[in-house]
Amino acid sequence: MAYILKHNQSAQCERHVVLVAPEIPGNTGSIGRTCLGAEAYLHLIKPLGFSLENRDVKRAGLDYWHRVKLTIWEDFESFEKKMDPQKDEMVLFTKNGAKPLWDMPSPARLFLVFGSETRGLPQTIVSRYKHATYQIPITDEIRSLNLATAVGIALYESLRP
């Protein structure tokens, strides 16, 4: 039996995926598709390493890309000023996060913040939210997970009742 997330079923919890300076268009397209499937918002913080018109973005997002709830920000400070996240609403994912994924809070509104594929999150952002750094545990066989995979894991874990 397939479980379907009914439209507006997640109305009691608002989820936002924030990508800071993403570099790989296919990852961003896949993440957009995942956000749409989970009724989450997608925020892209410039600079972007590609154009949103890139065919890899569209291919990975399939014919769903135009329905993604997408906002593009000039910088992280503009995002913070407009969205005004509260202290317990921010969850930053880094490979050196202080806490494991399953300890993340579950407020009604939550921002899941990820850095670029090659550089991660800027230290200036991590320093401001050091109380809110998390990691997805992995073995020492790999350096990191693919960004789209990490976002999918974190987003759906955040929706767990």
Give, for all 161 residues of the chain, the pLDDT tens digit. Answer: 456 666 555 557 999 999 999 999 989 999 999 999 999 999 999 999 988 776 766 665 567 778 999 999 999 999 999 999 998 999 999 999 999 999 999 999 999 999 999 999 999 999 999 999 999 999 999 999 999 999 999 999 999 88
pLDDT of residue 12: 73
| Residue 7, SS3 per DSSP | coil
Element of type H or E holding 70: strand 69-73
Is 12-158 a domain of CATH 3.40.225.10? no
Q: Is 144 annotated as a binding residue?
A: yes
Residue 68 CB-half CA count within 13 A: 26
Is the CB of residue 41 less than 8 Å from the CB of residue 71? yes
**Residue (of 123, 148, 124, 145) closest to 34 by Cα position:** 148
pLDDT of residue 156: 97
β-bridge partners, 112: 17, 91
What does the alpha-carbon distance between residue 91 and residue 133 come to, in Å, rounded to a whole number? 6
pTM for the full model? 0.92
pLDDT of residue 32: 94
pLDDT of residue 87: 87
Contacts of range 87-91, beta carbons closer than 8 Å, 24 or more positions apart: 87/131, 87/132, 90/129, 90/132, 91/132, 91/134, 91/154, 91/158
pLDDT of residue 53: 78
**Residue 116 in tokens:** 């670029």
DSSP state at residue 154: H
HEC string of 12-55 equals HCEEEEEEECCCCHHHHHHHHHHHHHCCCEEEEECCCCCCCCCH
